[in-house]
Amino acid sequence: MTGTGLRELKKQRTRDALLRAALELFTTQGYEHTTVDEIADAVEVSQRTFFRYFANKEEVVFAVQDMVESHFVDALRRRPPEEGPFEAMRHAVRSAWDTIGEAIGQVVPVELHMRAYRMIESTPSLIAVHLRRSAELDEQVARLIADREGLDVDTDPRPRVAVAAFAAVMRVTGRLWGQGEDASVEAIRDLTEDYLDHLEPALATDWRAPAGRPARDRTDRTDRTRPDPEDRTRQDAADTPEREAGAHTE
């Protein structure tokens, strides 16, 4: 290995060590209660060295999540063009979950990343950042879907609508997984798969239609309970002689 290669390897090892130390401190004593000095001291480097690799604590806490999101976007770009938007996103996220564990494990233990994700979901100051980052990712994916479908995302709302629905499922499953007892990759993958199975049925018009039967338009069901104007006219005409007879009797 050349001198340049050794220097780059040393830099990568220092960055990974800072990342592991930061996540361990964040998940054990809390994000707000951890300082940059404590992270640097845990790796036996200076604060100045920390800032060579990360701009601030926020950047380090989301570093692995950046990797996960990039992994998903790359997988989506590789999906066959004949797949529809939902099919492509679903296969991409499944592929990402199947392979991301190895990629994360090269940087930090997967279990540590999972604990860090739960910590982000339960830290108020990070939730707002997480939502902003999610919105930015949604826009990136929507533009990618629009390109796949040959659409202009700024004039056709369908890419953003599709991604919003898909991303909502991902956020719900992430939150539920974070509240559960199983913190494994397999647990969140299975939960995500289950909820994605229900995405299309949840978007159906009529939730009350029995499984296996085509959904009816909800307005059809409403119309059957609304009186027909012609029926009302006929009924009024039939009632008129009776009302007149009653008036003569009086």
The predicted structure's pLDDT at residue 8: 85
Cα(83)–Cα(247) distance, rounded to whole angstroms?
A: 73
Q: What is the pLDDT of residues 113-147, one digit of tens each?
A: 888 988 998 899 999 999 999 999 999 999 999 99
Give the distance, in angstroms, between the CA of residue 125 and the centroid of all CA atoms in the same chain.
19
Express each pLDDT in 32-69 by its tens digit.
Answer: 999 999 999 999 999 999 999 999 999 999 999 999 89
pLDDT at 14: 94
- In the predicted model, residues of the chain with pLDDT beneath 70 are 1-4, 204-250
Tokens encoding 17: 């060590």
pLDDT for 221 equals 42
pTM given for the model: 0.75
Distance, first Cα to last Cα, the chain: 116
pLDDT of residue 98: 79
> Rg of the chain's alpha carbons, rounded to an integer?
29
